[in-house]
Chains A and B, each alone.
Chain A
């Protein structure tokens, strides 16, 4: 009797081994907005299986899982990925502001590809360097560049006429079908960055290639090596230009041919930090960051914005009637379908959050995605509504915005590391969209070409990454 009991325990274990339950797990694809049942605790609390974070299901449909985390595990200790997920808006805000307590020390995530950048500095060193670059991407210096952004957009759209019959632009019975990503959004932000940085036009294609390789090589993924090579090439190219401009600065001109000032690289060449000129290495790695960071968010913002607006015809009609609404559409898109998921932080000291003790030096994943869908801040967060009352849609500030029931979204972060490209990204997306809107008559999503959800009918959810391609029809 006693013995058989122990035998039963061991029998069960041997059976478990034979079944191979320990292997990787495939999760079923769920309808949008529903989570896979990963089990429940005795008190009914839903459980989270950390393998979900690597699954295709999570990539296409992350929001219901983040809701579980926010509601039941505001700080979730993920033992598989050896990290802590922080998912509530308030907590993330607090951690982002606490530059000392939650540092950005590189632990290998992106540094290999992006190099030593301000992304991974803290405190005064970060502030000093960030301003060197940041000042060129905002305010008057940016305003002077808006005509150039407009010109680039016009040029790219004009090129569609020549591309008819290609893979991404076709025409039939007075209706033109374009792949908006391939034909516009993927490349547009990179061209703008090149233009703003003052690189020659001939280099734009190379930059686009480098950008793509670097982005796919982030985080030590399988294409990491390609990313490293691309970065090296980009660096070599930029270093050459930097050396040239140290001797012979170049100038930017407005559309009428009047000089508007030196380009950013020429200015950086004469910038001093602590009495020393910036090294070429410092300039190139931060240029690489601007190129790398300038693309994905803006591309995602443009594609997601058009996708979401066209799925909500009344809101699209409103934007069509009032161009100033593009700003609201931009911010609501970034809140509803954030292109960049979040940022890693490492706590400098032992921290206790919501009863969970996080030892110093742990990886804390700040999930911007989840903050933007925090129902404690945004009412009915899964609904796309450019008129929502609780979203601030003015200029993004490092201090964030939280007044009179309005909150800024978290797509660009907040605090000292607020994306320095937030403002230029905003300009690219809205200026580009206005021009697109001008050229496309009666645009609609080409349902046949868009990927479908598991029911085979409705459109696939945007998920963790931006919509990969947006097929549009419009009348000529």
Chain B
């Protein structure tokens, strides 16, 4: 929330300060006529809100989401004071509607207004990010796979999928050797602090402050002696509001995250290992590997849902959505919407009814829908279109996941699930990334 000028303060007693939103002048409440139309009165007997924070939801949310999608497409959850949107067309319509809905920054969940600036969208940062990722994608994968290739067995979830994005981040920022472990630990805690669990919140806040102290000397060093890494690109920015500080760097890291790369890699290999017939198809060539990645994001999206907030009262899905309402846009439910995808619960690598190009809001290339995994920003907000600009993060992540997977396939042969292994997808905590945490495989070295 922006800082408010003194003259906009309306009242103040007992520490209460009321500020008008710029541009609002109305009475601030509904008229009786609008009020008359609002008779909520829905009855949702087929599901209880508590089920949406249950152990079942943590492990396998799809059955519960189907109940919502097929019966209550705009479900008001009175326990979490939110609306659940579960149909594909509805979810995408909320995602692209920047006029009526907003996404709140993660700093808001931490209660840190004006703590730092999010520099993810700055062109030099994007360029450095693309350059760094493209440069490191294959060598990093080779070095990681090389560590376990000779062993004949590995836990792909931890030793490959989870590790790869963290070390990639370390390389992008060009962190000193030996720091990556401590950085990764704090980075994870900071990301996981965006939750209702108070100890994790607290620990996340501590980690965030630790990271700020950690980056302070690094920022000064890169300012004096810049390199071609992403951290130097951030430090070298000339942005409004003064020189870039360590807090800006940490906020940028907080707002972006590595979850989609981590989750997509882990979920893709989980699905390929548990569907050997599809694995056959996928390893034929890089195009099919890319399609397998896209189908993974559709079938088992690592980020299950995104939160949007209504900027003002708006009528949608036959309901009056009040100002400030929280909408849980469930990508997981939308991706399995039978109105869009035939046989949506099946993992089919060369699926015919899914778009293979980058999803751009509700625009469907070739008339086909794509799986929702990145929240579908408004078209062209990612600077992907002009030739001289970097590829969108969506494309970069896709290419990186495919390249890393290709390296794995090239370095080991006869990849298969270990005897007796029973891998599954789960979130660490309800609301967090839904992915595979243990995927024991065996193979032979090529």
Contact = CB atoms under 8 A, between A and B. Distances in A.
A78, A220, A349, A362 — most chain B CB neighbours (10 Å): A220
A349 B202 CA distance: 28
A356 B111 contact: yes
Contact of A80 (B80, B159, B178, B181): B80
B159 A22 contact: no
Interface of B: 1, 4, 10-11, 13-21, 24, 27-32, 35-36, 38-45, 48-50, 53-55, 58, 76, 78-82, 104, 108-109, 111, 113, 147, 157-159, 162-163, 166-167, 177-178, 180-182, 184-185, 188, 195-199, 201-202, 206, 309-310, 312, 322-326, 426-430, 432, 437-438
B40 A111 contact: yes
30 contacts: A2-B178, A3-B147, A4-B181, A6-B163, A7-B163, A13-B428, A14-B437, A22-B429, A23-B58, A81-B80, A82-B82, A95-B16, A101-B10, A103-B29, A108-B40, A108-B78, A111-B38, A112-B41, A115-B39, A121-B35, A346-B322, A350-B20, A351-B18, A353-B16, A355-B15, A357-B1, A359-B1, A359-B104, A361-B310, A363-B81
A101 B28 contact: yes
Given A8-B185, A42-B206, 9 more contacts: A6-B163, A18-B438, A23-B55, A49-B198, A79-B195, A95-B16, A99-B29, A115-B39, A350-B4
Contacts, number: 235
A100 B180 CA distance: 52
Contacts of B309: 359, 361
A106 interface: yes
A217 to B, nearest CB: 9
A174 interface: no
A346 B324 CA distance: 9
Interface in A293-351: 346-351
A454 interface: no
B48 A222 contact: yes
Contacts of B49: 220
Interface string A70-89: 00001001111111000010
A150 to B, nearest CB: 38
Nearest to A363: B81
A275 interface: no
A157 interface: no
Interface string A103-146: 11111110111011000111101000000000000000000000
Contact of B111 (A2, A77, A91, A363): A77
Contact of B79 (A13, A81, A112, A125): A81
Interface of A: 1-11, 13-14, 16-18, 20-24, 38-39, 41-42, 47-51, 54, 74, 77-83, 88, 90-91, 94-95, 98-101, 103-109, 111-113, 115-116, 120-123, 125, 219-222, 224-225, 228, 346-357, 359-363
Contacts of B310: 361
B324 A5 contact: no
Given A91-B14, A100-B28, A123-B29, A105 B322 contact: yes
Given A10-B162, A360-B324, A123 B17 contact: no
Interface pairs A-B: 6 shortest CB-CB:
A361-B324, A5-B181, A348-B28, A112-B41, A22-B429, A80-B196
Contact of B18 (A21, A98, A125): A98
A14 B438 contact: yes
Contacts of A80: 53, 80, 196
A111 B17 contact: no
A125 B30 CA distance: 10
Contacts of B324: 346, 359-363
